[in-house]
Amino acid sequence: MRDLVATRTAALCLNRRGRPRGLTYDDHLVRGALILDLAVCGALTHTDDAVELDHDRAAAHGLAEVAAEVDEGDTGLQWWLDWGALGFDDWRVRLVEAGVWRLRPWSLRYPFRSFEDTQRERTEADRVAGRQSGRDGAARPETLAVLALGATSGLFGAVHDPPSWVLEDLDEHRWAAELVVERLTELRIRMRSIGRAVD
């Protein structure tokens, strides 16, 4: 779990005090990251006429439950990203259970819970990488996926499209990154316009 795109992206949603941003958008962000995790581990592949899901490969990477939920019914990836049951809070619970995050004892009352990210150095390295514009030819697919999601979700500061080289360097996983980035961008714009209407 420590190395998953969903885990690294969720960690970027914590503020300096270890509190989550608390945005509904982050539920979609976690599901989008999990789609990329399935693609990067080879469980989700794109052929000329279909997207195929290998449940055994997903299970080998600790994503059996995610794959089962993604594959339930005949709804497709985009529908699951929009409406899937698994969200940020569910992933937060799994991270605490796995010891990747620790609940700070003085913050037991919801909604004021804060967490210690045991991978804080890597999270900070992701934050630094996301604020740099230069190409990193040695970046692993997981890191490229984090950079793509972080850029489009404002996790590195201002919201912007991922640098073109990030998507290019994802090679065979690029289709999944483009699908997720495009949908997250649409959701962010829609949620922002709804927020303005409510104001």
Residue-wise pLDDT tens digits, 56-65: 999 999 999 9
Q: Which residues pair with 20 in a beta bridge?
A: 14
H/E element, 53: strand 51-53
Each residue's pLDDT tens digit, 83-117: 999 999 999 999 999 999 998 876 566 566 899 99
Q: What DSSP assignment string belongs to 80-93?
A: HHHH-S--HHHHHH
Domain ranges of the chain: 5-198
For the cut 60, the answer to whether the pLDDT of residue 197 exceeds it is no
Q: What pLDDT band is residue 75 in, cutting at 50, 70 and 90?
A: confident
Per-residue confidence (pLDDT) for residue 110, from 0 to 100: 58
Q: What is the pTM of this model?
A: 0.92
Q: What number is the average pLDDT over the span 168-184?
A: 96
Token reading at 83: 């409406």
Measure CA 48 to chain center: 26
Tell me which residue of 87, 115, 77, 108 sits closest to 29, measured CA to CA. Answer: 87
The encoded tokens of residue 72 equal 């339930």
Does residue 75 sit in helix, strand or coil?
coil
**What pLDDT is recorded for position 28?**
97
